Amino acid sequence: MTAKRFSRILSLILVTALVLTFLPTVCVCGAEEQEQSDDTGHVIYFNAKVSGWANYSRIMVYCYCYEDADVLIEWGANRKGGMTDIGNGIWSYDFDAKGVTLEDGKQYGLIFLTDVGQQTQELLFDTTCFGDTVIPDEAIDAEIPYECDKRAIFAYWQSGKLGPTLCITELGHVIGDICPAHTTPSSLFVGFLIKSYPSGLEFALRYGDGKSEQELIDEISRGLYLTRTDVEKVIEAAKVLGPDWPYQWNARRSTAFQRGDYDDDHDVTIMDATRVQNLIAENYPKPFAKILIAIDADGDGELTIMDATRIQNVVAYLTDMDGNSLLGYFVDGDHCGKYNTYPDKAL
């Protein structure tokens, strides 16, 4: 397992250095009062009483640096990784007492495990999390990213500062919430596509959910909140960096997110423009983060009346979604507007 983890981390570092497509990090928000706090020590806590983990005699932690893959706490039963039962179902880990030094500004991956093989999914961690409490949730689990025959529960920081690491599993499922620093959803996707069998896209197509290549790529892109334009860039990067693969994916048939599609019905209509206007006027419920990405029609990172205007222009075939004029071109529903491309013929 450690070898697989090293392979994953190193490949992510390489891909991130080469891919120049960047998207905003998806964040988990919300905070609650801490059960435990330690303003002076470098301590974290694990609340086992809210899950079935309260009955285990040992809880351990594995830790590595996400940036350089340096393992700080080895996997498995060892003194350095052992947490301390401080009573009432709460366990603690004192990094200073264990001789583990963490650096400000770096991010780390944590996995909690028991002496009988139970484990959590990877949880992103940095020095701002000292004093925070980890809350495991047995109601939510998924396959382990690089061991698809095993499953693990998710764990969350009580403060909501960070969360489970965003990743793509061997079967092509997107799990986790937080994209690590120096990594983007696009670079994660490129890293997945360029892996050779027995891993990556070919493995997921053979042993996954029976989806076609088009369906699988679309499903992953939606899990990563990527638009059709983003996916086109990802595939182009994968063709340059990875093995020779045909990538049977058609943008015009894609169900990936489309800029301007507020209601996520895979089409851009006047209703999308109206809802964006209402949202700006605060007369409409705030949508989920993934829809906010879609309705930033002009791609400037802000939601303004210009986004509603851009959508209206697309619906009227005046411009494409990038703002390029369509005047003087043959208007065909298969070629402009909702597919964000130029028509094939000019008048």
3 state SS for the chain: CHHHHHHHHHHHHHHHHHCCCCCCCCCCCCCCCCCCCCCCCCEEEEECCCCHHHHCCCEEEEEEECCCCCEEECCCCCHHHECEEEECCEEEEECCCCCCCCCCCCCEEEEEEECCCCEECCEEECHHHCCCEEEEEEEEEEEECCEEEEEEEEEEECCCCCCEECEECCCCCEECCECCCCCCHHHHHHHHHCCCCCCHHHHHHHHCCCCCHHHHHHHHHHHCCCEHHHHHHHHHHHHHHCCCCCCCCCHHHCCCECCCCCCCCCCCCHHHHHHHHHHHCCCCCCCCHHHHHHHCCCCCCCCCHHHHHHHHHHHCCCECCCCCECCCECCCCCCCCCCCCCCCCEC
pLDDT of residue 61: 96
The b/e string for 40-76 (b: 16+ C-beta within 10 A; e otherwise) is: eebbbbbbbeebebeebeebbbbbbbbbebeebbebe
**pLDDT tens-digit profile of 209-221?**
999 999 999 999 9
Which pLDDT score is estimated for 45? Answer: 96
Q: What is the pTM of this model?
A: 0.73
pLDDT of residue 203: 93
- CATH 1.10.1330.10 matches 258-347: yes
Domain edges within the chain? 27-165, 258-347
Q: Which residue has the tokens 């006047």?
A: 270
Structure tokens at 316: 């009227």
Provide the pLDDT for residue 150: 93
Q: What is the pLDDT of residue 344?
A: 37
Residue 289 confidence (pLDDT)? 53
User: Which segments of the chain have a pLDDT < 50?
Assistant: 2, 6, 9, 12, 14, 18, 20-39, 288, 331-347
Give the model's pLDDT for residue 109. 95
